[in-house]
Structures are given as C-alpha cells and as structure tokens.
Structure 1
Amino acid sequence: MNAPLLVPVLVLLLAVGGLMGFRDAPNAVALAVRFRALTPRVALILSALLNAVGVLLGALMLTLGLPLMVAGGTARPEVLALVGVAAAVTLGWGVLAWRFRAPTSTTHALLASLAAAHVASVSALGSGLDPAFENGARWEVAASLLLSPVLAWGLARLTARPVLRLATTGTTVNVQHRARIALAVSTGLIALGHGVQAAVRLLPLAVLAATAAVGTGLPPGTELSAAFVAAAAVLAAAVGIGTLGGAWGIAWTLTERLVILDPLRAAVAAVVPAVLLFAGTMLLHLPLSSTHTGVAGIVGSGQTQSYASVRWGAVARVAVWWVATPLVCGSLAFAAGAVLLPLLG
C-alpha cells in the first residue's frame, strides 16, 4: 500500500486545498461584496492572492517542526491509505454541502475523517491506537465546533452596540465609508487566515503520506526543504485557484438567508471571525472555523437590531449541517477504512 498510492493521495490533498479555497471564499468576501466595499472581481482576486500568501506563511511556520516530523520515527504503512480515505470523504462531503448552499467547515470534515479512519485501521489491522490522531483530533473538533460559535456570537453581541455608538458620528456617507473600510480589511484578514489554516492542516498530511510511502520512515537528517517548498507552492496555487470560484451559492446563504444586516453590523460580523481566526491559528493552535465564527457573528450582530431580523429556521438548518459534518464524515471514513485497509494491506 506504499509508493503506488502516493500520487493519488497527494492529488486528493491538493483537491481538498482547492475545495477549502472555493468553499471558504464566501466567508471572506460575501459581506464585503453585499455592502459594496469591494466589487466581486476585486474581492475574489484579493482573497485568492492572500489565501496563497497565507499558505506560504503557514508553510514557513511549519518548517520549524519539519525535522521533527520526518526524523527517525517509523511511519506506519497504513497511514498513506488512511490519509487518502480522509481526503476523499472530505472532498465528497464538501461538494455535497456546496450543492445545498450549506456553509460547513472543511477542516472539521477532514479532522473527523482522519480520526475515524485511524480507528478503522486499528480495528481492521490490529495496530495500536495513536493518541495524536484519536485524542487530538477529537479535542480539536469538539472544542472548535462547540466553543468558537459561542465565542463569536458573544463577541458580536457585546461589541455591536458600542461600535454603533462610536461609528455613527458624522454624516451618513462617512458612516458607510467607515463600515466599508472595515469590511474590506476583514476580507483580507480572513483570506490570509484561511491560507494559514490550509497549510497547517494539509502540508503535515502530505509529509505523513510521503514518509508512509517510504515504508520505514525517513532517516535522521533527511533534507526535505526543496520538496516541502515545492509542495507549499503547489498547494498555495490550488487554494488560490479554488478561491476564484467564489461559491456564490454559499455567499447568498450568508448574506440573504440568515439575517438582514445594516453596513455597520455587517462590519462587526466580519471583523469578529477575522480576529478569532488569527487568535485560533497563531495563539491557541486550534482550527477555529471561519464558517462557524462567521455565521455566529452574523447572528449575534443581527440580534442587536431593534426588530426581529434573525431567520431562525435558516440558522437551525445550518446548525444541522454543522453537527452532521463530523458525524457523517467520521462514519463514512470509518466504513471506507474498514473495507479498504485490509484489501490494501
């Protein structure tokens, strides 16, 4: 199950990177385009460029730990198939959710699939349980799934009214101008954070796949810098190209189906996930989903309006997709792993 599988697994990981760019583009551009802070073309080009830059920045961060990933240890041969199963399930679920215009987290789908496929390998092959896969992925999915929307919702609700009081001085034109500046800046920040998240999720999996293809791990001192830089550049291109697709159906869900916002509340709803995305990536090292925080920020900001603007039926449907993502992806990955791993082994 080693070398012949490496190329298709790496292609699947690149496809997941493109899917991340495609599906996450609305989180960055939807509100800015809706309130005319940026034109659709400019928003997508800016987001694609900053997504690519974010991937390269994330790769730079990972280079510090690259020797630890490849030195000395034994890479289990089933890891290559495990990564392939998780990537395939993530890709299929992401496409399905896009068809239904559902804003879901690709990162949560990937982590749940990895954990479940690993448990399947333990069951099918009798290998020992790796706590880094099972416990780490379970904690990250649970923490970010449950806590990040609550945190974003609370921050948006707390900050919306003070921001409105401070920002509504002056003429209507000046107020709208300030809101549009905040929306444009948040577009860039979210796109940059997306790229970093894509790199720190997918590049370590590519390294794991490569070491598993060798079969016995790489010897200490193995130089992978050139290959790693090339992989980062290709992933950056894939994420950037995927971003240009826009996924406007999901953008329509974010801007029209959940809450009707004014420009200033939209600015609050956009800035909150931008800040949390960087805090999660740089400080907490958790995959705080921009989709989850973005939707929660929109709802929290919308609740500060004097009339009932939140469409709770649409919010509930989105929440069902969020809960279904780790459950369905985990189940599919476990089933696929239980069937495929013994055949490949």
Structure 2
Amino acid sequence: MLLGLTLSFVAICGLGVLTGFRDAPNSVALAVRFRSLSPRISLQLTAAMKALGVLFGTTLMTFYAAFFLHPETNGWPGLATTGIAILVTIGWGLLMWWRRIPGSTTHSLISALWGTTIAAHLTVGSDQIEQVVSFVQWELLVGLLISPLIAWAFARLLTRPLLRLGTTGSTVRVQHRARLALAISTSASAFGHGMQTGQRMGILWALVLASAGARELAALPPAQLWACAGAFALATAIGTLGGAWRISWTLTERLVSLDPLRASVAAGTAAAWLFFGTLLLHMPMSSTHMTVASIVGAGQDQTFASVRWGQLARLFLWWLATPAVCLVLSFILASGVLVLA
C-alpha cells in the first residue's frame, strides 16, 4: 500500500508539472506579446502566484471526492483507477500541447474520473451511477459551455466603454495603462488558476487516501496536509517555469488580432471570472476556456474581421473531443484493471 501511495503522490505531482507547463500561456501570453512583462519575469511572477494559489486552493476543495468513491474499490483497485485517470489526463494534455491546442486540464481530468468511476460502479454493481453521471454532466456543462459564453459576453460588452476610458490622454500614457493592466491581470489570472489547480490536486489526493482507508482529508495531521500542499505548489511552479510557448503562439497570433488595450480587457475578464467561479460559484472552471473566450470577445469589437473563425472552430472541436476521448479511454482501461484485480 505504501508503494501505491508513493506512486500516486508522484503521479499527482506530475500532473501539477504538466498543468503548470501547459497552462502557463493563459497568464503570460498576452503580457509578453504586448511587452508588458519580459518572458523571464512573467514566468517567474506566474510561477509564484500559481504556487500561492495552489496552497490556497488545496484548502478550498469544492469538487467532492465522495462522488467518485465506492467501498469496494478501496485498496489497489481504487489506487489503480485514480492513477489511470491521472495518466489519461497527462497523455491527452501532452497530445494537445504537441498540436498547439490550448485545452482544459480540468475537463479532461473530470471526464477521466467519470470514466473510471462508471467502470468501478458497473464492476461492483453499484446503484449510484445515475447520481454520478448527473453530477458530472452539470459540471461539464457549466465549465465547458456556459462559463466561456459568459466570459465572451462580458468581454464583448466591456471592451467599448473601457476603451473609451483608457484612451484618454497621450499615446504614451494609454500604452502605459494597458501594459500595467496586463501585468496586474497576469498575476490575478495565475493566482486564480493556481486555486483551481490546488482544488484538483487536493481532490485527487483525497481519493488516493480514501482508497487507502482514510475517509477524510481533513483528518490528516496539519503538518502532513501542508507538506502535501507545498509539494503540489512546488510541482506546479516548476512546470510553469517551463512555459509552453507553442500554445502562447496560438493564443496571441492564430485566433484573434488584438491591440494592448483590448488584450488587457481580455486578460482582466478571464481573471475576474476565474475568481468568481472559484470563490463564489464553487465550480471547476478552465482558465484556458476563460482566456480564449475573453480574447475572442474583446477582439470582435474592431472595425475589421479580427477573429480567425477557422482556427477557432478547430479549437472548439478539440474541446468537444476532450470529454469523450478521456471518458472512453479511462473507462476501458479501468474496466480491464478492475476485472483483473
């Protein structure tokens, strides 16, 4: 059992490294593109803010592990199915990074957990499948469809009045305001994404501990809990310092043509909705979806066709494929493991 706990802990830290690496552009891409911050400073600032967010988010776990638990999957079956969900999430994330696609680690992980949970419940003959399915469907619907639409609408509506306020004064002052807003938004977005990442990693660790017999994460000694949170924060910060510049190019060059002021509106809107969704709605939200939707909303408010709809449609197809692929793959792998266990 100790070996299983160790491997699970390493896998969760690995997911933190990938999350920080692949999602770093959501915070730094616009600030670097419009020279608000240098690449090095932006990555260091983002890594520090994400680490703080992970520490804070681990104590605000709102995606309840109880929905993915069943007494008969304790022990090695539970550790194996949780590990399968993590590995599927990491594999899909690496594929999307290679294809230069900004995607959601949140929704790939939820879908993978959904697949392993359904496999576990079918294997042990549980009657809780409908409850789990309805719960996760709501999470995916809000996170995948509704929240990006809200972010897009707010960015679209706020761009015009904020531009009027921001363009008063000399050109130098206007550029300075835009870059200052981008720098602040970078920090806020990184902290908000860190809170979401901390919640995900905390829930995964709770699942691992529950499989090993500990039913509540809060029952852990405080020193041990903070040590785990610190390790998760460090892993995320290390990954962030790598900076997935392949995805940054997609966000800043392939989707929408922006100027510094519109970029600051987009970054601020995404950061605000990350905070709102995490602290008030208590919902898992995607920093990638928020960022892309806000960029499109802010970029549409121009006198020329700034949005490259073909690239956006391609991106949306990848987003739709994420839940389906992760769910099916994790279900198949978990079913095989549980049958053999």
The TM-score range, normalised by the shorter chain, is: over 0.9
Summarize the Cα distance change of 1:220–1:266 in structure 2 as closer, same or farther, 3 Å threshold: closer
Residue 339 of structure 2 corresponds to which residue in structure 1? 342
What does the per-residue CA deviation read over 1:98-151, in whole Å, with 9 as the maximum and x for residues that have no partner? Answer: 000100000000001001110011223324426664333221111110101111
Letter in 2 for 1:58: G
Aligned residue in 2 for 1:202: 201
Provide TM-score, normalisation by structure 1: 0.92
Shift of 1:3: 4.7
Query: Distance in 2 between the 1:218 and 1:152 partners?
Result: 37
Aligned length: 336
Structure 2 residue aligned with 1:242: 239
- What is the match of residue 168 of structure 2? 169
1:306 counterpart = 2:303: yes
2:87 pairs with 1:84:
no
Distance 1:238 1:221 in 2: 22
Aligned match of 1:140: 139
Q: Distance in 2 between matches of 1:14 and 1:180?
A: 33
| CA–CA distance in structure 1, aligned partners of residues 325 and 230 of structure 2 | 32
- Pick the aligned partner of 1:297 from 290, 294, 300: 294
Query: Using the alignment, how far apart are the partners of 2:266 and 2:216 within structure 1?
Result: 48
Partner of 1:23: 22
| Identity across the alignment (%) | 49
In the alignment, the residues of structure 1 paired with residue 334 and residue 221 of structure 2 have an alpha-carbon distance, to the nearest angstrom, of: 29
Separation in 2, partners of 1:275, 1:134:
29
Displacement of 1:211 after TM fit?
A: 2.5
Matching of residue 259 in structure 1 with residue 289 in structure 2: no
Preserved CA contact (<8 Å) 1:196 1:281: yes
Distance 1:220 1:318, change over 3 A: closer
Query: CA offset at residue 223 of structure 1?
Result: 4.0
- Tell me the amino acid that sits aligned with residue 177 of structure 2: R
Gaps (5+ residues) in structure 2? none
**Matches for 1:214-233 after TM superposition, within 5 Å:** 214=213, 217=214, 222-233=219-230
The answer to whether the 8 Å contact 2:160/2:301 transfers is yes
Alignment partners' CA distance in 1, 2:28 and 2:335: 40
| 1:269-311, Cα deviation, whole Å (9 max, x unpaired) | 1111100000000000112211111111111111100001111
Separation (CA, whole Å) in 2 of partners of 1:136 and 1:315: 29
Deviations 1:298-341 (A, max 9, x none): 11111100001111111111101110111111111111111112
Closer, same or farther: CA 259–232 of 1 in aligned 2, 3 Å: same
Q: Structure 1 residues 220, 21: CA separation in 2 closer, same or farther (over 3 Å shift)?
A: closer
> Aligned partner of 1:53: which letter?
L
Query: Relative to structure 1, is the Cα distance of residues 219 and 254 closer, same or farther in structure 2, using a 3 angstrom cutoff?
Result: closer
User: For structure 1, which runs of at least 5 residues remain unmatched after alignment?
Assistant: none
Alpha-carbon distance in 2 for matches of 1:308, 1:47? 32
Q: Which residue of 2 aligns with 1:158?
A: 157
- The residue matched to 1:61 in structure 2 has which SS? coil
Q: Report the equivalent of 2:318.
A: 321
- Residue in structure 2 matched with residue 43 of structure 1 by the alignment: 42
Answer whether contact 2:258 2:299 (CA < 8 A) is retained: yes
In 2, Cα distance between equivalents of 1:160 and 1:324: 31
User: How far 1:13 sits from its partner (Å)?
Assistant: 1.2
In 2, Cα distance between the equivalents of 1:134 and 1:213?
A: 25
Where 1:36 maps in the other structure, the secondary structure is coil
C-alpha distance in 2 between matches for 1:109 and 1:270: 23
